[in-house]
Structure 1
Amino acid sequence: MENPQRDYSTISPSARGLLLMKGLTDIPFAREAAQLMLAPEPYIPDYNRTEPGFWGRMVHFENRYHSIDQLLQGLHSKNILELSSGFSFRGLAAVQRQAVHYIDTDLPDLIVTKQGFLHDLQQQLPPATGQLETLPLNVLDEQQFSAVTSRFEPGPLTIVNEGLLMYLDQQEKKTLCTLIRHTLEERGGYWITADIYLKRNKDLNQVLTGNDQLSNFFLQHRIHDNMFDSFEAAADFFHDAGFTIDQEAQPDYTRLTTLDYFLKNTGPATLEKLRQRGKIQTTWRLRLR
């Protein structure tokens, strides 16, 4: 099912760069993992940066992370599968708090590095309450997807992803939706995705990139082209794929540790432009319709 013309391993450098950014936040284990990433050199968070674009990205990614946690609350799910998790350690945090079975997945090369980080991080933690597995997975491979989901005990499954759909074209999105729908038809549960992005505003890259390296990465993977034309179009896409919106995350700006830095370094004219532009991303909890 994987497109033979695409090299999915090239996506991984974005996860590395994002981890070094998230080290400036209080996202669980982000700073510790960033230090492991740079070792033996020290990781020194730079809070003296003044670029509005940098702090805009920080606010965006920090809010996106917490939006998934918000929609996980109240589900009491014992089985959680995270797709293309990158260097996020949501699973490690979850099994410290709850008796859940959490399977954390991404491409093989990244997973090997992440397993090393997890080994080091777990040395400093008490025994987990739940069970964490970290496994390689190409999310478009039906056999791999089925093999991973079969590791869970019977019962509802919650699938989460943050930063995946914008790497997939329309047909690849449909393939993933089919795999997730079949899985939830068999088990029950929900799909939480933070990847509802709009492509209507081409100034998105000015807010979320702000440097040539990341801008070039967005261009290479056609990130803008893979976004949705509108929130209505996104809802229609998931409806046609067999899903309906169960709940939408609401931003909690009091939760964001980087918001003050963004406001301090962003002028009134830019803030007004962002307000006029409106929302460009949201997080949905989906269920079968």
Structure 2
Amino acid sequence: MERNYNTISPSAMSLLLMKGMTPIPYARQAAELMSYPEQYIPDYDRKEFIFWARLAHFENRYASIDQLLEDIPAKNILELSSGFSFRGLDAVKKRDVYYIDTDLPDLISTKINFVTTLQQGDFETKGTLETLPLNALDEEQFTSIVNRFPPGELVIVNEGLLMYLGDEEKKKLLGIIHKVLKERGGYWITADIYLKGKLKIKLDDKLQQFFDQHRIEDNKFDSFEAAEAFFNEAGFVIDKVAEPDPTKTTALEYLLKTATPEQLAEGRKIGKISATWRLKVK
């Protein structure tokens, strides 16, 4: 039976409502659009440690990709499984890039309306943005979208994709990306190097059900060394590892207010749960 990847998309909606509480570009405006006709009123008095821990993580994850984009001449950027992230909209406003933003059809149809609304008024762009549907495991569709870019190296970006894919699906995706980058040159920046067994905080029932449904814990890597070996086997090497500063995340202030000394101690004990890597073809 063919897997229905569209069941992943509701998580992107709830994540947007969280990110609306951060300075991530266009997150607040998009959260307001998502909430309409109800008013979007973020609650900064929330006391749940798990909420602020997750938000700090996602804010930090977003920044980690920006960090790895900063020091390379990225003119052509393809984002996979972008959800309700508007990195592409922010990019074309600031610089001359050709950015193609993709996700599954159900989500993209909604996102296109958001992008159109966010561009109203005196919105001026220096680059080109396309927002297109793509199942990243469909090689024919993937290649068709890559062919829309002007000549030159390509940077592929993703956050929040690999943990939804089993090993065989991961290998298929790595094969597609390797073939594309072998032909065009460039990089793959992925924020999805998550480790198994590191999530020690208790999730609410709805979130736990979502994790179980998509086998998210099973789809993580056993270790950073195992992850590196997995990518090496597919023909990739690590070019650079992101080192963002978690103290710069706005959610950290609220996390520290709500956390008990025991929770903070446990967090330090657990250590690093994920990484963002910039990869290139061997």
TM more than 0.5: yes
Q: How far does the alpha carbon of each residue in 1:51-76 deviate from its partner, in whole angstroms, 9 at most, with x for none? A: 11110001000000110000000112
Q: Distance in 2 between matches of 1:20 and 1:165?
A: 22
The aligned counterpart of 1:55 is: 52
SS of aligned partner of 2:115: helix
Shift of 1:200: 2.8
Q: Distance in 2 between matches of 1:115 and 1:288?
A: 32
SS of aligned partner of 1:152: coil
The aligned counterpart of 1:220 is: 213
Q: Distance in 2 between matches of 1:269 and 1:125?
A: 50
SS of aligned partner of 2:253: helix
Q: Is the 8 A contact 1:196 1:282 kept in 2?
A: yes
Amino acid at match of 2:250: T
Q: Is the 8 A contact 1:244 1:288 kept in 2?
A: yes
The aligned counterpart of 1:237 is: 230
SS of aligned partner of 1:158: strand
2:174 is the alignment partner of 1:181? no
Q: Distance in 2 between matches of 1:114 and 1:154?
A: 27
Q: Distance in 2 between matches of 1:219 and 1:66?
A: 28
The aligned counterpart of 1:151 is: 148
Any gaps of 5 or more consecutive residues in structure 2? none
Shift of 1:201: 2.9
Q: 1:164 aligns with which of 161, 164, 173?
A: 161
Q: Percent identity, please.
A: 61
Amino acid at match of 2:9: S
Any gaps of 5 or more consecutive residues in structure 1? none
Larger displacement relative to structure 2 (244-253 or 88-97): 244-253
Q: Distance in 2 between matches of 1:111 and 1:55?
A: 28
Amino acid at match of 2:18: M
The runs of at least 4 aligned residues of structure 1 exceeding 6 Å deviation read none
2:84 is the alignment partner of 1:91? no
Amino acid at match of 2:232: H
The aligned counterpart of 2:253 is: 260
Q: Distance in 2 between matches of 1:260 and 1:74?
A: 29
Q: Is the 8 A contact 2:67 2:244 kept in 1?
A: no
- Length-normalised TM-score, structure 1: 0.96
Q: How far does the alpha carbon of each residue in 1:90-127 deviate from its partner, in whole angstroms, 9 at most, with x for none? A: 00000000100000000001000000001110004422
Shift of 1:147: 0.3
Amino acid at match of 1:215: Q
